[in-house]
Amino acid sequence: MAVTMRLVVDFTRCRGHGICTVLFAERAELDEWGFPVIDPADLDSAPLVRRARRAVVACPRGALSVETSEPR
C-alpha cells in the first residue's frame, strides 16, 4: 500500500513571508493577499519531497508540514 505525501499550510501560523513560493515554486504560489496557495497534489517523487521538506525547514513561522497518509 502506497503512502501519499502532501505539503500543507497551517494558516493560523502563516504570515505570508512567501519563502515557500521561492523554494518550492513548482507547487506553491502567492494569492492576491500574499499567502501561499499550495498545489494539493501528492508529492510523488523523491526530488519533490526533498524540495518540500526544504520549504518546511525554511518557513520562519513553522507553518508548513509534510502530511503523510495511507490511502484507505
Partner 1 sequence: MTTSVVVDRLDERRPGPGDTFGGVGHPGARLLAGRPAYDGTETLAQHLDRLGIVPPPRRGAGLVDAVHDSGLGGRGGAGFPMAEKMEAAARAPGPRLVVVNASESEPASHKDRVLVHLRPHLVLDGAALAAEALSADEIVVQLHRGDPAGYGALSAAIAERTAARLDRVPVHLSVGPDRFVAGESSAVVAFLEGRPAQPRPGPRAAVSGVHGCPTLVQNAETLAHVALIARFGPDWFRAAGTPGSPGSVLVTLAGDVERPGTVLEVWGATTIGRLLVSCSRSGHATIAEIGPVPGAAVLMGGYAGAWADMARVWELPLAHDELCRAGVPLGCGLVGVLSPDGCGLVETARLLTYLATESSGQCGPCAFGLPDLAAQATALATTRVSRSAVRRLYHRTASIAGRGACSHPDGAVRLLESALETFAGDVRYHLRHGPCAGARNGVTFPVPRSSEEWR
Cβ neighbours of 51 (radius 10 Å): 19
In the bound state with partner 1, the residue whose beta carbon lies nearer, of 2 and 33, is 33
> Which residues ranging from 8 to 67 are in contact with partner 1 (CB under 8 A)?
9-12, 14-16, 31-35, 37
In the bound state with partner 1, the residue whose beta carbon lies nearer, of 4 and 50, is 4
Q: How far is the CB of 69 from partner 1 (least distance, A)?
A: 14
Q: What is the DSSP letter of 29?
A: E
Q: Hey, what's the torsion of the CAs at 35, 22, 20, 18, to 10 degrees?
A: -30
Q: Where on the chain is the footprint of partner 1 (CB under 8 A)?
A: 9-12, 14-16, 31-35, 37
